[in-house]
Amino acid sequence: MTQQNLFLGIDCGTQGTKAIVLDASSGKVLGLGAAAHTLISGANGRREQHTQEWLDAFTEATHRALQQAGVDGQDILGIGVSGQQHGLVLLDDSGQVLRPAKLWCDTETAAENERLLQYLGGESASLERLGVAIAPGYTVSKLLWTREQHPEVFARIAHILLPHDYLNYWLTGRAVAEYGDASGTGYFNVRSRTWDVALLQHIDPSGRLQAALPTLIEADQAVGTILPAIAERLGINPDAIVSSGGGDNMMGAIGTGNIAPGVITMSLGSSGTVYAFADQPNVSPQASVATFCSSSGGWLPLICTMNLTNATGVIRELFDLDLDAFNALVEQAPIGADGVSMLPFLNGERVPALPHATGSLHGLTMTNLTRANLCRAVVEGTTFGLRYGLDLLRQTGLHSQSIRLIGGGSKSPVWRQMVADIMHTEVICTEQSEAAALGAAIQAAWSQSGESLASLCEKCVSVDPASRTLPVADNVSAYQHAYERYQQHVATL
């Protein structure tokens, strides 16, 4: 029997934490665990979470994954952590969290972001300087907001961390960052792969923010060894290494084998993302395309929509439907939802760039106002946002014969067919839908074993042939008409 080489992959997302146990020798996922988070919401766009919930969910999900895998936690060789991008975790000089973490979907700092964008000279100038156009939700505006709204907190800042950086700090006691996740802060130059210290000095000339930045490490480097007390809490090997980890999109790229040109990944999660590996930082002139660094040595041009399963979930809960009943209603309604269109911008929107937009319904009549049409309209509306973003990526020269689909929405055959038809491209799912957690585990194996990332991905990432979905010509045409209607509604905002 081949000796197992066990690694733990963690994905700390908006809705919860997922954990997987990976045997890197066989490439098999042996166990999965999950635990939920709650969200602090405000009418002003506030979206925050208590970091203690992340730690509790991390522990619970790990215990469940180990139990399902039926393995001894003392055999875990390493841990990789994926985290939601753009969030802000502030620590004092004793390592204590100063306030709840502001998340990627927080738009409370939209005014601060606009002021910073004006300082940079607008979107084009931001693209020229940073390689990205800073947007509401990025980390940089959260720092300016904290200085102005919570000066007493700002004065105590000793460490500025992203969510996955914070979890690595909890695991090891070391404050470090990795280039992929760092590239989504808005104070990082994606071309030179360096912090933009001058932008931080504009926010606070004292140099406090510059001094609080974590050390940057490469994706294949280890942060360190897990702290004994945390190893005991998790029930794992106290000699386990903690790899650099990364943002959820960067880890999702690894978890779908998207580490070389020619693959496009689309995630149907709380947010919607589409991304592809690039070996050069070819920055798009379109502000909605973020040319992040990858966590595999290159770059990861990406678009992100702010409203996906969080929007479909609201409609599902409104009608008190389980997933099967919701999908049945979506399938029951005709393509185009009988003329009903939904702009599902419940959190504002990044793609299209409408940070102050709200959700809206269009085309309602006495005859088409049905639950089925509303359910289909929200799924179509969120998917049209992804089509808008995919078209922007295609304009940069990124192409693929198929789309690798991940995230909770990918489990729905109805939604898979809709994606194939709207994108006019074959869709296939990876066998492991928790791609970010898998990518984190693969990265831990890469860091610990010295085996090449390409070899590990070939062994650990596989597609599900049964999920292969081809576009249907008549559907493609019908969706194109509905998409053009969506574009007309967006143009009025």
pLDDT of residue 300: 96
Question: Considering the domain boundaries, does residue 437 fall inside one?
Answer: no
pLDDT at 405: 96
- Of 247, 280, 311, the one marking the end of a domain is 247
Among 11, 248, 338, 421, which one carries the catalytic annotation? 248
Reported confidence tier of residue 1, pLDDT bands at 50, 70, 90: low
Quick: pLDDT tens for 380-419: 999 999 999 999 999 988 888 899 999 889 999 999 999 9
**424 labeled part of a ligand binding site:** no
pLDDT beyond 90 at 461: yes
Q: Is residue 166 part of a domain?
A: yes
- Give domain status of residue 58, yes or no: yes
Q: Is 86 annotated as a binding residue?
A: yes
What average pLDDT score do residues 166-172 get? 99
pTM assigned to the model: 0.91
Same domain, 208 and 262: no
Domain holding 323: CATH number? Answer: 3.30.420.40
Q: Do residues 273 and 249 lie in contact, with contact meaning Cβ atoms separated by under 8 Å?
A: yes
Task: Round the average pLDDT of the chain to a whole number and report it.
Answer: 96
**The total number of structural domains that make up the chain:** 2
The pLDDT assigned to 282 comes to 87
Does residue 104 share a domain with residue 79?
Answer: yes
Q: What percent of the chain has pLDDT over 70?
A: 100
For position 400, what pLDDT does the model report?
Answer: 85
Average pLDDT score over residue span 313-320: 97
- Of the residues 192, 221, 247, the one at which a domain ends: 247
pLDDT in tens, 104-117: 989 899 999 999 99
Strands 272-276 and 47-49: unpaired
**Are 384 and 345 in the same domain?**
yes
Tell me which of 247, 272, 294 is where a domain ends: 247
Residues 424 and 307 reside in one and the same domain: yes
Asked about 248 being catalytic, the answer comes back as yes
241 & 262 share domain:
no
pLDDT digits (tens, 9 = 90+) for 450-459: 899 999 999 9
Residue 236, domain extent = 6-247
Q: Which of 152, 148, 37, 186 is nearest to 101 (CA)?
A: 37
365-387 pLDDT, tens digit per residue, is 999 999 999 999 999 999 999 99
Residues 124-144: what's their mean pLDDT?
A: 96
Specify if 455 maps to a domain. no
Is position 442 within any domain?
A: no
* 185 occurs within a structural domain: yes
CA atoms within 13 A on the CB side of 446: 30
What is the secondary structure of 112-156 as a DSSP string? HHHHHHHHHTSHHHHHHHHSS---TTSHHHHHHHHHHH-HHHHTT
pLDDT at 337 over 90: yes
Any domain includes 264: yes
